[in-house]
A = this chain, B = another copy of it.
Amino acid sequence: MEMSNKQVILREYVSGRFPTEADMYVNTSNYISLKVPPQGSTVLVKNLYLSCDPMMRFLIMDNSHHRMTKYVYCTPGSPICGYGVAKVLDSSHPEFKQGDLVWGLTRWEEYSFITNPESLIKIRHTDTDVPLSYYTGILGMPGKTAYAGFFEVCSPKKGEYVFVSAASGAVGQLVGQFAKLAGCYVVGSAGSKEKVDLLKNKLGFDEAFNYKEEHDLDAALKRYFPQGIDVYFEHVGGEMLDAVLLNMREHGRIAVCGMISQYNLPEPQGIKNLMQIGFKRLHIHGFTHRDYDHIVPKYLDFVLPYIRQGKLVYVEDIVEGLENAPAALVGLFTDRNFGKQVVALARHDNQSSNQT
């Protein structure tokens, strides 16, 4: 059986500026055979949901000279790569078989031949009663990130004061809810009134504020944390980090998950308040979900009951079709997404698989 394959292609590397929709284009490739080669260990998948993640900013820049670890990077002229949820159509890898649902690193196209299937995680049959798109978010990489970063890196204690930036995003909305489950006081920052309302009224944050309306972030943090901050979950960097440093309590912990405000600048902003690290004996830990693959089963056992009982909420911003994927990705960096940004390619396929 042969099919055409619609793809989102990276036009050229994007460095030192905001990505735009024009950096990508949609193309339909020639008919491809929906069979894997008999030799090797390749998995052919039909992509169901694609994930828009801030870390993809690093995959579309030319960073060949300082690639830190084995990872997947995009190449101009080829489809964008990133996380997604997919259904196995054919496989020469012993661990995957036709009909399996998987999540992991795939490409922005209808069908992908995955030649490194160790980057795929099989979705347990018992765990398809929740929206499959959740495996791009709360049940996927962002969920693992939030859980590892908050519980393993920050070691929160009941009653501590927690601040989350980009708090309505894919990871932030989970960190805030985890903080409440841990008995902490949690405040989030976000970039619009609607997001602030979401944080306070739907996601259970104790307080939230719109960072765009605060001329003095230090003063804002002093208002929301008169006692100071014990745990900061860092997503944005720049001026927010500088203000947070002034408001950390002694022995405070900062988990560095990302610094999205800095990704598109020609040169990052300088952070001036690092002497606070010594004064207050702060702990700042960079981390990545990739170091926490081993916690996935434990995390799923923790999170799935809360989802099924409606005690954890997950807000998704789903656009339909590959044509809308470039705008969705670009929107992450201008704070346009409302919750976890997902691109749905084959929603019906997902629903039918849910019914089996």
Binding site for B on A (CB under 8 A): 68-69, 237, 241, 250, 256-259, 262, 267-288, 291
Contact = CB atoms under 8 A, between A and B. Distances in A.
A69 B278 CA distance: 12
A241 B257 CA distance: 21
Most B CB contacts (10 A, CB to CB) among A256, A273, A274 go to A274
A77 to B, nearest CB: 26
B275 A272 contact: no
Given A68-B250, A69-B250, A250-B69, A278 B269 contact: no
A259 B277 CA distance: 10
B286 A285 contact: no
21 contacts: A68-B279, A237-B274, A241-B274, A256-B278, A259-B274, A259-B278, A267-B272, A268-B274, A269-B272, A271-B272, A271-B274, A276-B286, A278-B286, A278-B287, A281-B286, A281-B287, A281-B291, A282-B285, A282-B286, A283-B283, A283-B284
A278 B257 CA distance: 6
Chain A contact residues, majority secondary structure: loop
Nearest to A63: B279
A75 B30 CA distance: 80
Contacts of A274: 237, 241, 256, 259, 268, 271
Count chain B CB atoms within 10 A of each CB in A262, A267, A278, A282 and give the residue with the most. A278
Contacts of A278: 256-259, 286-288
Nearest to A252: B286
A275 B284 contact: no
Contacts of A258: 278
A281 B153 CA distance: 11
A68 B284 CA distance: 19
A241 B282 CA distance: 16
Contacts of A283: 283-286
Nearest to A267: B272
Given A69-B250, A270-B269, A275-B237, A286 B280 contact: yes
Nearest to A290: B281
- List 10 tightest A-B contacts by C-beta distance, closest first: A270-B270, A277-B286, A284-B284, A278-B286, A281-B286, A256-B277, A268-B272, A256-B278, A282-B286, A271-B271
Contacts of A280: 68, 286
A268 B284 CA distance: 19
Point out which of A278, A280, A286 has the most chain B C-beta atoms below 10 A from its C-beta: A286
Contacts of A281: 285-288, 291
Nearest to A277: B286
A222 to B, nearest CB: 12
Nearest to A242: B270
Nearest to A259: B275
A71 to B, nearest CB: 11
Nearest to A258: B278
